[in-house]
């Protein structure tokens, strides 16, 4: 079903993650309410203080938004956006975004401002654009999903952020520490286009975000999403120095030139553990959140499934010069 733009008086049902962003939660809530109410619109604002309750709260708010014909909005980082977007897809709601995370890949890809006040103004003048969602074993992802070293990297990064604060520098240094440490390589079999391939890799990374692919230099996979596909990256097992070289290539936007990387695009892929491995579940990172999923893993691209509100970049908010 192709979703139309919401009606002009549609209420906004906003889920705000108090753990995201660097600004005081009360100030963020006041800013959101001020801009929306000044425009003569109504909003319901639900603040999530306990991250473990985010899926439960997002589902409840989405139910109310669907019942009232409202817009379901996520305010937070990419993990928060993913959790709320999942409910928007399930309930058939139009979805809005107020990016408040460290990297904000999803919001930046769709031209949504990182400044909160500007993002709310953009939300008020936005139109529906249908965008792709990735799926792994029924769990949606907007940016990426991965197994192997990457989930471990995210767990270490979260630990370091609690100690040293949330910043892109802390995230980069934490990633280097994890990548250069000891880790096991995955041994997996993938079913792709009717053929089975066996891979040995430190991590299997599946991307659903053009900007992220562009930044690490994975051409031509940066256009896979526009073609209704997902992008897979699987580094070959290498020593620490060559792994460091891969990380540096990615930071410089030249990963696609590396010989030690397998990369391909797909619409559907199944990942299995080798026979006799005994593994039944595996850690999977889904838009920055680590969870345990049962094997085999089924990855799929759901083209145009999410009805996202996106403002015309040429328009300006009221009062702008």
CATH of the domain at 90: 3.40.50.10330
List the one residue out of 137, 122, 90, 147 whose CA is nearest residue 282: 147
User: Residue 40 domain-assigned?
Assistant: yes
User: Residue 1 domain-assigned?
Assistant: no
Same-domain status, 179 and 81: no
The boundaries of the domain holding residue 64 are 12-132+305-310
How many domains in the chain? 2
Q: Cα angle vertex 62, ends 269, 158, to 5°?
A: 60
Are 74 and 98 spatial neighbours (Cβ–Cβ below 8 Å)? yes
Is residue 94 pLDDT above 70, yes or no? yes
Distance in angstroms (rounded) separating the CA atoms of residues 302 and 321 = 40
Distance in angstroms (rounded) separating the CA atoms of residues 32 and 98 = 10
Cα 197 vs. chain centroid, distance in angstroms? Answer: 27
> What percentage of the chain reaches a pLDDT higher than 90?
62
Torsion, Cα 263 264 270 273, to 10 degrees, reads -20
Same-domain status, 151 and 279: yes
DSSP state of 311: -
In the chain, the N- to C-terminal Cα span, in Å, equals 39
Same-domain status, 222 and 122: no
List the one residue out of 281, 294, 306, 288 whose CA is nearest residue 145: 288
User: Residue 139 domain-assigned?
Assistant: no
Query: What pLDDT digit, counting tens, does each position of 2-60 carry?
Result: 778 899 999 999 999 998 766 789 999 999 999 999 999 999 999 999 999 999 999 99
Same-domain status, 101 and 170: no
Same-domain status, 58 and 156: no
pLDDT band with cut points at 50, 70 and 90 for residue 285: very high
Same-domain status, 209 and 257: yes
User: Residue 66 domain-assigned?
Assistant: yes
């Amino acid at each position: 079903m192709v979703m139309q733009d919401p009606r002009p008086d549609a209420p906004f049902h906003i889920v705000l993650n108090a753990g995201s962003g660097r600004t005081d939660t009360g100030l963020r809530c006041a800013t959101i309410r001020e801009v929306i109410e000044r425009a003569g619109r109504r909003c319901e604002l639900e603040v999530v203080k306990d991250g473990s309750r985010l899926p439960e709260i997002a589902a409840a708010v989405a139910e109310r938004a669907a019942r009232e014909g409202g817009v379901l909005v996520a305010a937070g980082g990419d993990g928060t956006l993913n959790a709320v977007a999942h409910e928007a897809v399930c309930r058939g709601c139009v979805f809005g975004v107020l990016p408040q995370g460290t990297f904000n890949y999803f919001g930046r890809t769709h031209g949504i401002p990182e400044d909160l006040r500007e993002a709310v103004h953009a939300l008020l003048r936005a139109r529906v654009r249908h965008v792709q969602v990735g799926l792994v074993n029924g769990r949606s992802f907007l940016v990426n999903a991965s197994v192997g070293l990457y989930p471990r990297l995210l767990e270490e990064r979260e630990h370091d952020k609690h100690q040293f604060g949330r910043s892109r520098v802390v995230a980069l240094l934490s990633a280097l520490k994890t990548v250069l440490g000891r880790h096991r390589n995955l041994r997996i079999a993938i079913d792709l286009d009717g053929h089975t391939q066996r891979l040995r890799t430190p991590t299997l990374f599946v991307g659903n975000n053009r900007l992220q692919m562009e930044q690490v230099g994975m051409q031509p996979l940066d256009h896979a999403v526009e073609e209704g596909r997902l992008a897979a990256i699987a580094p070959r097992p290498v020593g620490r120095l060559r792994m460091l070289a891969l990380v540096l290539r990615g930071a410089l936007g030249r990963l696609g030139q590396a010989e030690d990387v397998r990369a391909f695009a797909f619409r559907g892929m199944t990942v299995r553990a080798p026979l006799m491995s005994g593994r039944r579940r595996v850690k999977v990172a889904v838009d920055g959140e680590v969870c345990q999923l049962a094997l085999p893993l089924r990855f799929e691209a759901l083209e145009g499934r999410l009805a996202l509100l996106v403002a015309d970049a040429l328009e300006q908010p009221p009062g702008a010069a």
